[in-house]
Amino acid sequence: VCLGNHEFDDGPAGLAPFLGNMSKAGIKVVTTNVDTSNEPLLEGKEVLRSHVFCVKGTKVGVIGAVTEETRTIATPGKVDIQDVIPSLKEEAEKLTNQGVKIIVAITHTGYDVDPYIVDNVTGIDILVGGHTNTFLYNGKPSTKDKVEGNYPTEVNRADGSKGLIVQDFWFAKYLGFIQVTFNSEGKVKSWTGNPILVNHSYEEDECMKQVLEPYRAIVNEAGSRPIGSSKVLLSADNKTCRLHECNMMNMVTDSFLAYYADQDSSDDMWSNVAAAVVNSGFARSSLPKSDNLTMFDIMRALPYESSLVVLTMTGADLRKMFEHSVANFTVSADPRGEFLAVSGIRVEYDLKNEAGARVVKLKILCTKCVVPVYEDVKNEETYRIATTSYIANGGDGFKYGEKVTKETKGVVDSEVYLPYIQKMSPLKTPVEGRIIIHNYPKVNVSCRSDLDWKREIWV
């Protein structure tokens, strides 16, 4: 297996037990561009740069890579996340010199990055990808899942060799399946295969069923508990909330702002916070239009859990937050999760401007006012903003000046949005122009500033 960025969400202390369990189970963890040698919490934990199997007398090497974005979107501590392509190229050449004829790469870098990897690392024959949860398929699938490319996606390199890329969606809905024929030199000759839909036609494993049975009733009872209802689709599928304003994240941020507005505040304030902001990666899927939204529905859509935090900052610091929100905006297979959803704020971006100068208008609700209205954010003014501990602690690369303060009551996000859904049901949250983007890039065109080797241009 290969590490992904979420293995670093809880830092090296959270990664250590996982690596220990993998070792006990005899599972090799291969992530070529990760160096743990300077992280004391991972001393004695094994992360390999490569591993070689012998299949019918042929040496098959496995290399792996986690996205470079792990440096900013997770908490790697003192773990060195190295550049992907140089790391893989060096290890692939090393394996080739050791007589390895076939090389398989396992990556958590995304379908937008994988073709660059295969094109530049000529030793890779097959790349098994992840991170973007892309559905590759040949023909018409039996489900409504959107097909985003051929399975496998073929990369024809300048030296005449081929590399194949496979990826099979998410949540173990499909089992990837590919058969590849190699010639005597270990080069890809032909292939066949397609993802297999894992449905009820396949028998369950009886041993595993027995292990899970004591917990099934407990989980089903808790998950089936009705929470509320919605007259509208709360949209978050296909990472849409990372591309523009979405009503799912409007609902979430509204719940955070409403929570603090209901708390005690001084007589001259209607709320002790002016706004709420959350990274768009907070939502993983939509909530359906339904008369019965259950706990299962909510957990599928909003699986993460963070404490709520109030940041006290100047308008200048707030503006920096929103500049970071779109500094690496991209319309690609892997749009960025730091794109901020808002409540109590109106923001306009111009993506033709250079990173750091894309916020062209930023307004926030006044708090010391009888009638709340949106006012221009002033650099020298002080504002109180509700967010999650993930964002407050630097997740997704957010950074704050020394004068920015943080306070929390220990309440977690689900303790806020669940009562809000119950109270406001049936939900009718709209998209209402909280976020306006000028000069929106075309599909597959990026204005990211962080990947120089993959710089794309405006068209």
What pLDDT, in 10s, does the model give residues 61-81? 999 999 998 998 888 999 999
Provide the whole-model pTM.
Answer: 0.71
List, for residues 122-163, the tens digit of each pLDDT value: 999 999 999 988 999 999 999 988 899 999 999 999 999 999
Q: How confident is the model at residue 383 (pLDDT cuts 50, 70, 90)?
A: very high
Q: Residue 449: its pLDDT value, please?
A: 45
What is the structure's pLDDT at 454?
Answer: 39
d(CA 316, CA 379): 4
Instruction: Look at residues 125, 136, 114 and name the one whose alpha carbon lies nearest to residue 66.
Output: 114
pLDDT at position 451: 44
Cα(459)–Cα(449) distance, rounded to whole angstroms?
Answer: 17
Give burial (CB, 10 Å; 0-12/13-18/19+) of 114. Answer: buried
Percent of the chain with pLDDT over 90: 80
- Local confidence band at 443 (pLDDT 50, 70, 90 cut-offs): low
Kindly give, in sequence order, each residue whose CB lies less than 8 Å from that of residue 415, ignoring residues fewer than 6 positions away: none
What confidence score (pLDDT) does residue 333 get?
A: 65
* CA neighbor of 270 nearest in space, from 378, 123, 384: 384
Residue 242 has what DSSP assignment?
G
CA-to-CA distance for 360 and 345, rounded, in angstroms? Answer: 13
pLDDT value of residue 335? 82
Predicted confidence at residue 453, as pLDDT, reads 36
The strand pair at 126-128 and 102-108 is best described as parallel
Average pLDDT value over all residues in the chain: 92
Answer whether residue 198 shows pLDDT above 70. yes
Does the pLDDT value for residue 92 go beyond 90? Answer: yes
340 and 288 in contact (C-beta within 8 Å)?
no
Closest CA to 340 of 416, 405, 391: 391
How far apart CA 29 and CA 34 sit, in angstroms, is 11
Q: Helices 414-424 and 247-261 meet at what angle, rounded to 10? A: 100
- Which has more pLDDT, 366 or 394? 366
Q: Looking at residue 267, what is its pLDDT?
A: 82
Spatial neighbors of 1 by CB under 8 A, at least 6 apart, are: 22, 27, 28, 29, 30, 106
Place of tokens 């081929």: 162
* Residue 239 CA from chain centroid, whole number: 9
Question: Count of residues for the chain?
Answer: 459
Whole-angstrom Cα distance, residue 455 to residue 449? 8
Give the H or E element holding residue 119.
helix 114-120
Structural domains of the chain, ranges and CATH numbers in brackets: 6-197 (3.60.21.10), 220-438 (3.90.780.10)
Of 223-232, 251-260, 439-448, the least confident: 439-448
Q: What percent of the chain has pLDDT over 70?
A: 96
pLDDT number for residue 448: 47
Q: In whole angstroms, how far apart are CA 228 and each of 164, 255, 278, 417?
A: 45, 14, 22, 11
For 225-255, b/e burial (b = at least 16 CB within 10 A) is eebbbbebebbbeebbbbbebbbbbbbbbbb
Looking at 109-113, 184-188, 273-277, 449-453, which range is the least confident one?
Answer: 449-453
Q: What pLDDT does residue 337 have?
A: 85
Residues 244, 109: Cα–Cα separation, whole Å: 23
pLDDT computed for residue 345 by the predictor: 98
- pLDDT range class, residue 60, cuts 50, 70, 90: very high
Lowest mean pLDDT among 53-57, 345-349, 449-453: 449-453
- Strands across the sheet containing 374-376: 374-376, 359-365, 345-350, 435-438
Is 80 exceeded by the pLDDT of residue 455? no
- What's the burial of 208, exposed, middle or buried (CB within 10 Å: 0-12/13-18/19+)? exposed
Give the mean model confidence (pLDDT) for residues 356-383.
Answer: 96
- Distance CA(356)–CA(438), nearest Å, equals 15
Q: Are the beta carbons of 296 and 225 closer than 8 angstroms?
A: no
**Helix or strand or coil: residue 175?**
strand
Identify the pLDDT of residue 334.
72
pLDDT digits (tens, 9 = 90+) for 295-348: 999 999 999 888 899 999 999 999 999 999 999 898 876 788 899 999 999 999
Cα distances (angstroms) measured from residue 289 to each of 240, 285, 292, 293, 395: 17, 13, 9, 8, 31
Indicate if the pLDDT at residue 456 is higher than 70.
no
pLDDT of residue 306: 86
Q: Tokens for 36?
A: 């743990």
Residues 182, 183, 186, 187, Cα dihedral to 10°: -80
